[in-house]
Structure 1
Amino acid sequence: MNASEANLTLAAANATDAAMERPPTAADILSSVDNVVLATVLLLFSVATVFGNGLVIAAVVRERYLHTATNFFILSLAVADCLVGLVVMPFSAVYEVLEKQWLFGVNWCDVWRSLDVLFSTASILNLCVVSLDRYWAITDPLTYPNRMSNKRAIVLIATVWLCSSLISFPAIVWWRMDREGPVPDFKCPFTENLGYLLFSSTISFYLPLFVMVFTYCRIYRAAAIQTRSLKLGSKQVMMGSSELELTLRIHRGGTHGSGSSQEGGRCDESSCNRVASKNVRNFSFSRRLAKFAKEKKAAKTLGIVMGVFIVCWLPFFVVNLLSGMCRSCIEHEELVSAIVTWLGWINSSMNPVIYACWSRDFRRAFARILCVCCPRRVRRRYQATLRPRASQRFSSGRFYSSCALHHASNSCQKTYI
């Protein structure tokens, strides 16, 4: 090999090294069809997350009938999920498409990682608070409205975001103190400190998971007992430390004899007044039964949310701990970490889909928002299909008893729905 050939070989090697050190350009990215497809899919996930959770936020803010404590928790959950799609996902999509090349500097790398921890932890803790809210509503329906006021809900939401902030932003100092050397150019590594991984995983996932599984097991047990009581025609209500069993026979139509003293449905005015008072109480009880059915359906919906949450986030936190304890135990560690991370973020886009499929109230609110640009005739026709019918207001054969006082005939009449 002569001197000119050696110089050409050295120049080619230097050019290759320079190409490896510089970040890929737009031409490099677009030259690969796989990168274009990957970028499109990841950005679609981001857009879907922002759009779906934006609908939930708009629905709760706009519709007054959604202004309940439970829906405030769902609003906080949607805000966290929306920020995941708006702030976290796009930068991660660029990072993955550029083949792990970070173009935004070390400082923004640390801030972005901490925001990821903040929003993801807030989303998980909001799910935990929602499960506790459903647990209190199902197991103690009489005292729940006084216990869970809007002010108390706001305090719980503020606590969720405060805890999430304490886990995320102070971690930047921890990460920088733990680093043994400078961060490589165009890289954005996550900390491998086992102490931080154990602490953050416990607070962000394993502790909320335990609370959610415990509460939903109790919810399922309480709902099963109350459903069995309803089928037998009785309803057990817990009131403080004492237990009061209220027997409410469920009628599905027809009439019910009132005894020999009121033969033929005739009664004097004092008897009618007593029956009217009793029927008012029965109406109150039937409203409680209808509310229990609604709470039970909401618990089922949020149970599905919890199941999807476990499927999406459990792989990430298992891999997260393994990477700190035994990094060599994971084959293709970068690829596996990217897959389980995006699987966790996809959970943020699934919650609005579940609400839309299972909640009539949210379907109605979504329709009102999405049909704003539609002609008025189309809006009215579509919204009429989502409006609850009178026969559905008291489901499962619940009855409304009314005593109509007719002074002329002095008669008492019961009406069953």
Structure 2
Amino acid sequence: PIKGNTSATSGCGSREGLPAHRVLTGCVLALLIIWTLLGNFTVCAAVYRYRHLRAKVTNIFIVSLALSDLLVALLVMPWKAVAEVAGFWPFGGFCKTWLACDIMCSTASILNLCVISVDRYWAISNPFRYERSMTRRVASVIIGVTWTVSVVISFVPVQLNWHRAEIGDPTGEGLAHHGDNIDDGSCDSSLSRTYAISSSLISFYIPVAIMIVTYTRIYRIAQMQIRMILSLERAAEHAQSCRSEPSNQPHCELKVSIRKETKVLKTLSIIMGVFVCCWLPFFILNCALPFCPGPGAPAAQRGPYCVSEKTFDVFVWIGWSNSSLNPVIYAFNADFRDAFLRLLRCRRRGFLAAVSAAVETIMASNQAGNTKRESPMKVRLDVSCEWGTPLIKVTSALSFLRDTISHDNVHNNKLATL
């Protein structure tokens, strides 16, 4: 996210030891980073491995979202986690580059969420036109624009120092900027009011407004479609549960309609609720902190939004945690769930295939020493995994196989290992 009046962590006095609370914090943050990496990598691997997922244009946006969240876990989270545990910024001049990566990746993640909402609204509101117009080329252009905007509002201002509030700024553009403070072990970048507000508008407030509008309309369209489908079903035949009591049919249909509409509303509420809860507190503080007086100002002049550095860091991590939740929310539909299960199943079978191949090699060497003996083991190939190596399945019983190998090893003066 865009940084307000915060440092990655400061205070060189804590370099000597690691308090227990920092070790615990490091473990929690490590788990969050690993989960974010695994979740988003699995989404990308599933789309790469399975053709039917690649065939859907809308999954291009899911992959773009997963890549942005993957970059958050690779380029942003680890460095901040190390700084949190160490108690200071140990990466020196990398501070400015890290800040630009933070802004770029977080903005790209949020903009991809906005693009997905617009894509789904278009697909539901005008499906025929969507099928004709939303080609891979159009989707690629949209993704290119999304990432270009993310780069432009991050690397360009940060590298040119347009984002900073300067010391003694007569226009009152923000808090005094103390530089990157690399020498004293901190990575501090106080934002000017102009940059904080404009970047927050592009990175969050405009996208969230678009998402609210699109998901509200999606719900209304789904509501109308549910009622239309129920009316068509009523015209075709009565529901089984209502046949015995025709007088209760309208009541039953109303219950079914309410149940389906509630399910749609629940799904959309989770999508918007998780996103807003993760990012809204941070962006409120991000716009408010540049208006806070300097650290030496009396407490009476500091408003409730002038929070401490540690409090602000907590909201930063809550915002980043949205990248760990996106794979669960956006990729766990039926198609992706099946792909994930097949990925896990094929990897497990791949391991078993290696074991089976080793057993087959042992049997072959035993047969070379005893050509008169027929092989008691039948092997067949199974290509049930769409992308994996053909799976070797041993059809003989394990106990019989063990006895056979042991007998052959003894017969050939070899040591039985099974």
Give TM-score scaled by structure 2 length. 0.66
Letter in 2 for 1:146: R
Supply the AA of the counterpart residue of 2:32: F
Structure 1 stretch displaced more, 186-195 or 151-160: 186-195
Shift of 1:366: 0.8
1:343 to 298, 318, 331: 318
What's 1:415 paired with? none
Q: CA deviation at 1:322?
A: 1.4
Q: Work out whether 1:103 is the aligned partner of 2:85.
A: no
| Counterpart residue type for residue 191 of structure 1 | S
Aligned match of 2:180: 183
Note the C-alpha offset of 1:298.
9.3
Q: In the alignment, is the contact (CA less than 8 A) between 1:60 and 1:66 conserved in 2? A: yes
Q: Deviations over 1:207-246 (max 9, x none)?
A: 0011000011111111111111111118xxxxxxxxxxxx
List gaps (5 residues or longer) in structure 1. 1-19, 235-247, 255-295, 384-417
Aligned to 1:365: 339
- Partner of residue 312, structure 1: 278
- Confirm or deny that 1:28 pairs with 2:43: no
1:201 and 2:176 equivalent?
no
| Amino acid corresponding to residue 339 of structure 2 in structure 1 | A
Specify the alignment match of 2:141 in structure 1. Answer: 155
1:376 CA displacement: 7.6
**1:57 corresponds to which residue?**
44
Shift in Å, 1:178: 4.3
Aligned twin of 1:398: none
Name the Cα RMSD after superposition. Answer: 3.0
Q: Unpaired runs of 5+ in structure 2? A: 1-9, 168-177, 241-261, 294-301, 354-381, 386-418
| Counterpart residue identity of residue 66, structure 1 | L
Would the alpha carbon gap of residues 253 and 301 (structure 1) be closer, same or farther in structure 2, given more than 3 Å must change?
closer
The structure-2 alpha-carbon separation of the partners of 1:177 and 1:193, relative to structure 1 and needing over 3 Å to count, comes to closer
CA distance in 1, matches of 2:83, 2:130: 47
2:229 equivalent in structure 1 = 230
Alignment match, 1:88:
76
CA distance in 1, matches of 2:57, 2:273: 22
Q: Give, in whole Å, the separation in 1 of the partners of 2:33 and 2:351.
A: 34
Report the Cα offset of residue 190 of structure 1. Answer: 2.5
1:342 is displaced (CA, Å) by 0.3
Q: Distance in 1 between matches of 2:37 and 2:13?
A: 29
Task: Name the counterpart of 2:210.
Answer: 211
Structure 1 Cα separation of the partners of residues 11 and 133 of structure 2: 60
Deviation at 1:377, TM superposition (A): 12
- Kindly indicate whether the alpha-carbon contact (under 8 Å) linking 1:312 and 1:344 is maintained by their aligned counterparts in 2: yes
Alignment of 1:7-406 (within 5 A): 22=12, 24-25=14-15, 28-29=17-18, 32-67=19-54, 68-99=56-87, 101-106=88-93, 108-172=94-158, 173-175=160-162, 178-180=165-167, 181-184=178-181, 185=183, 186-233=185-232, 250-251=236-237, 304-326=270-292, 328-329=302-303, 330=305, 332-355=307-330, 358-375=332-349
Structure 1, residues 132-165: CA drift from partner, whole Å, max 9, x if none? 0110111111211012111111110111000101
Give the SS at the match of 1:373.
helix
Distance 1:69-1:302 versus aligned 2 partners, 3 A rule: farther
Asked if the contact 1:355–1:362 (Cα under 8 Å) also holds between the matched residues in 2, the reply is no
Deviates more, 1:208-217 or 1:63-72: 63-72
> Equivalent residue of 1:341, what SS?
helix
Give the Cα–Cα distance (whole angstroms) in 2 for the partners of residues 134 and 97 of structure 1.
41
Task: Give the match's secondary structure for 1:142.
Answer: helix
Residues 56 and 252 (structure 1), Cα distance of their counterparts in 2 relative to 1, 3 Å cut: farther
In structure 2, the CA distance between the partners of 1:175 and 1:302, relative to structure 1 (3 Å rule), is same
Q: 1:177 to 1:315 in 2, by over 3 A?
A: closer
Cα distance change of structure 1 residues 325 and 87 upon mapping to structure 2, 3 Å threshold:
same
Which residue matches 2:365? none
8 Å contact from structure 2 (residues 104, 151) kept in 1:
yes
> Could you say if the C-alpha distance between residues 179 and 364 of structure 1 is closer, same or farther in structure 2, counting changes exceeding 3 Å?
same
Instruction: Give the letter for the 1:373 counterpart.
Output: R
Distance 1:145 1:299 in 2: 25
1:13-38 per-position Cα deviation (integer Å, ceiling 9, x unaligned): xxxxxxx975754x612xx2111111
1:314 corresponds to which letter in structure 2? L
Once the two structures are superposed, residues 184-220 of structure 1 have per-residue CA deviations (whole angstroms, 9 ceiling, x without a partner) of 3211113321100001100000000110000111111
SS of the aligned residue for 1:338 comes to helix
